[in-house]
Amino acid sequence: MKSLLVAGRCCAVAGWIFWILVQIVAKDPFPPEISMSQYGVGPDGWLFSVWVILLATGPLLLQFYRPVPGPARWLLIIGYLATWLLAIVRTDEGGLQMSAQAKVHMIGAIIALVCLPLGMLLALLRSRRPWRPLGLILGAAAVIAGTLVVLSAIGLDTAGIGAPASWALWEGTLTIIEMLLVSAYALGVNTIEPVLERRQPLAAPR
């Protein structure tokens, strides 16, 4: 089981490394000009795919290492599968995402951006200080950033830089919050109380 902890923490560290790499290779530093998904377009798009898969794999491994009751595991599994979808099915180049594959990519991205942070937050709620309050702060920040993403998606200029640029800014911000949640989860997972298996009652002697 210790290997799950090590692997989960390695994914968290590698996620930050690949986040920097995709920006350097794409020559499009944060916040991205159009969206985070544009890092996956072109011959170097595999870096984006590896990055997002690492980002989703870490929390799932940590959940299997130290399970918590409730829907956290299923949320992380759903988010993990959605991440594979957006990693394999790329978006269109440019700001307009009109093709069927771009819409599939967007669906995967939305599911992942909702399920993964929520799953990690539910897990961190069972941790001890300082990870529990940190999880609550990051969870609140994710709700705010997610709301601004939705408002920008419907055409509102939420950052004073135009709706498309606002979308890119808040989507990137939400991704960073998710990465911080992964890091907090990786560091605080050992403070989560292990789930004790229920023992079957002994049969009464006849």
Can you tell me which residue has the tokens 């394999």? 88
d(CA 161, CA 34): 12
Residues 68-79: pLDDT tens digits? 888 999 999 999
Q: How much is the average pLDDT of 76-83?
A: 94
Rounded to the nearest integer, the mean pLDDT of the chain is 86
Q: What pLDDT score does 199 carry?
A: 46
User: What's the confidence (pLDDT) of residue 95?
Assistant: 63
> What digits encode the pLDDT tens for the residues 126-173?
998 899 999 999 989 988 988 888 888 778 888 888 877 888 888 888
Q: What are the DSSP calls for the chain, one per residue?
A: -HHHHHHHHHHHHHHHHHHHHHHHHHT-PSSPSS-GGGGGSSTTHHHHHHHHHHHHHHHHHHHHHS--SSTHHHHHHHHHHHHHHHHHS---SSS---SHHHHHHHHHHHHHHHHHHHHHHHHHTTSPTTHHHHHHHHHHHHHHHHHHHHHHHTT--SSSS-HHHHHHHHHHHHHHHHHHHHHHHHHHGGGSPPPPPPPPPPPPP-
What is the amino acid identity at position 125? L
pTM of the predicted model as reported, rounded to 2 decimal places:
0.85
Give yes or no for residue 107 having a pLDDT over 60. Answer: yes
On the question of pLDDT at 67 being above 60, the answer is yes
pLDDT at 198 over 50: no
Show me where the domains of the chain are located: 2-191
Rg of the chain taking only CA atoms, in angstroms:
19
